[in-house]
Amino acid sequence: MCRAMFRSGQLWRIRGTAAFAIGLTLAMVLSFNRPAAAAPTNSSIVIDATSGQVLLQSNADAPTFPASLTKMMTLYLLFEAMQKGAVKLDQPLPVSANAASMPATNLALSAGDTITVATAIQAMIIRSANDVAVVVAEGLSGSEAAFAQKMNAKALALGMTQTVFRNPNGLPDPWQHTTARDIATLALALHRDFPQYYPFFAQVRFNFHGRTYVTHNRFMLHYPGADGLKTGYIHLSGFNLAASAMRNGRRIVAVIMGGRSPSMRDAAMWALLDRGFGTATPKTQNNALLLASVVSGDDAYYLEHKAADSSWTPTNDGDRQDVAIALFASADQGASWTFRNVIVGGGWQGGSAGATGVNVAAADTSHEIDPVWEPYLLTYNNKLVAYYSDENDYTAYNATTGALTVAGDNATGPDSAGQILAHKTWDGVSTSWSSAVADVAGNTTTTSTGQSEIGGGRPGMATVTPTADGKWMMTYEYWGGGDNVRYKIAGDPLSFFSVTGVGAAISGLPVASGSRALARGGSPVLVRMPDGRLAYNAAGSGSVWVNAAGTSTGAIIYIKTQIQNTG
């Protein structure tokens, strides 16, 4: 493994159409004879769905742009048509040239295509597809202009008195505006009037033309009890979110308009819903950013040499004691950080990074190499999961639970120089993290005293991501022969230990015909992009490989991203 010892952890981190509603009264027309604010307006409201009581509000009647929250009204009218029997879920809707011309976010539909009503619903909620919203509008009313009239008439009937719609998708139009209160009114109506269709809002992925799309609504994936509704963004609106959550039989609807970023908007929504329910969820989950970072004591090797010769100059890192991984949190987008707790503790670094056993401190009498490093954070089932590389000495792990057995002479005996991959979990309220679980134990080796220990091949530097087919994939370094990158696939991110052995060679993943072979030189990175695709990179190439299907078995294609040297 490349022992870049203090690699700092990981952050845990338009167009519209005309058509003003002609059915409105003159007074309504005059009251709307102005556009929304020219800059994002921050506003919010929280409402008890049963009683209708406004629990919290801030600037709730300030005009602003709905952005893709507009699609909530498009969906309302589509649900209404379905309820009346005018359209069916399996009914194909034709795609016009106008619909196909809509800019991203979209499904890249072509004129002459068709899309079923069921897929159209998923595409508007999960993908926020602008082209699909126009397909629905034209399918129900013949044109965007006629559909906008229906949208405004329905808005007035629902009591959305400060809203004007000009298109079905929320693309920028200076005269299309709404308020946080009106969007909350619409969210409540969707749940009240169409309970049979409301579960569509809780769906997180769908497949279309061989590609898997994953929800933009990250808040819904993490907040306990959340089950919809919709995100929205254009430059003039800021980041909008309409959310609904149920706890102990009580439903609350909340709306935030004008968030400065998705993470700040989601953190604010988390706090609003917590206040609405009157019960706080773990504060750790509510921070905009979380950071797992390697920490340690002073460089003992450096201090020893400086004490002996004040003019001595180091040429590399030395030997640090108590190398550990700590959790830090930031509620201000990284401007400041607060220490939360220690995730896992280790021992001596064991010498210079990249040169094990070199520059060892005299105080490290046993020449131990027991640091923990290379952390990776994610959330799963409302818990934090921290993966890390662990150079402590272990004799075995339990194949049923993944529990590790520490060598009795870990701090004093001959070091195996091995390393394993492990993880711990934290619920955000307990005083400490869980016990460690092995993810990749490596090969069994024998120390100079004849003791068997795991950690051969030094698996480390893990990245973990969910796949579109409901599985989890881990990539990591491995230096035991063959590819220097390996992977495991498991049913959940906490049971990689159940996949026996050291994992499969990364070159075994399917690569599209004609595409370059995957890089496998170590230091792998695997991430899931917002649209569900998986992107991979490793040492040996500056380019990336993309799995467009996002599944654990999807074919991967090489994409060149390197800047050419023309000098």
> Which of helix, strand or coil describes residue 200?
helix
- Looking up tokens 């102990």 gives 248
Q: What is the mean pLDDT of the chain?
A: 87
Q: What's residue 214's pLDDT?
A: 87
- Residues present in the chain in total: 567
Yes or no: say if 378 and 493 are a contact pair by the CB < 8 Å rule.
Answer: yes
Token couple for 291:
């950071």
CA atoms within 13 A on the CB side of 123: 25
Neighbouring residues of 71: CB distance < 8 A, sequence distance ≥ 6: 124, 125, 128, 133, 168, 169, 170, 230, 232
Q: Which domains does the chain have, with CATH numbers?
A: 27-278 (3.40.710.10), 287-418 (no CATH)
CA atoms within 13 A on the CB side of 263: 14
Q: What's residue 2's pLDDT?
A: 40
CA separation for the pair 84, 107 (Å, rounded): 28
Q: What's residue 223's pLDDT?
A: 85
Q: What's residue 529's pLDDT?
A: 82
CA separation for the pair 502, 497 (Å, rounded): 10
Question: What positions carry a catalytic annotation?
Answer: 68, 71, 128
Q: What's residue 330's pLDDT?
A: 80
The parts of the chain modelled with pLDDT lower than 50 are: 1-35, 282-287, 563, 565-567
Yes or no: say if 443 and 454 are a contact pair by the CB < 8 Å rule.
Answer: yes
Quick one: 413 exposed, middle or buried, by C-beta within 10 A (0-12, 13-18, 19+)? Answer: middle
CA atoms within 13 A on the CB side of 502: 24
Beta strands, E only, 77-220:
92-94, 114-116, 205-208, 211-214
Q: What's residue 16's pLDDT?
A: 30
CA atoms within 13 A on the CB side of 111: 5
- For residue 136, give the nearest of 190, 86, 63 by alpha carbon: 86
Q: What's residue 280's pLDDT?
A: 56
Token couple for 225:
């009890």
CA separation for the pair 123, 44 (Å, rounded): 26
CA dist list (Å): 400 to 125, 452, 460, 476: 40, 20, 22, 22
* Rounded to 5°, angle at Cα 206 from 201 and 212: 140
CA separation for the pair 427, 439 (Å, rounded): 20
List, for residues 307-321, the tens digit of each pLDDT value: 999 999 988 888 998
* pTM score, whole prediction: 0.58
CA dist list (Å): 498 to 137, 435, 494: 50, 17, 9
> Which of helix, strand or coil describes residue 99?
helix
Yes or no: say if 201 and 78 are a contact pair by the CB < 8 Å rule.
Answer: no
Q: What's residue 492's pLDDT?
A: 92
- For residue 126, give the nearest of 228, 226, 223 by alpha carbon: 228
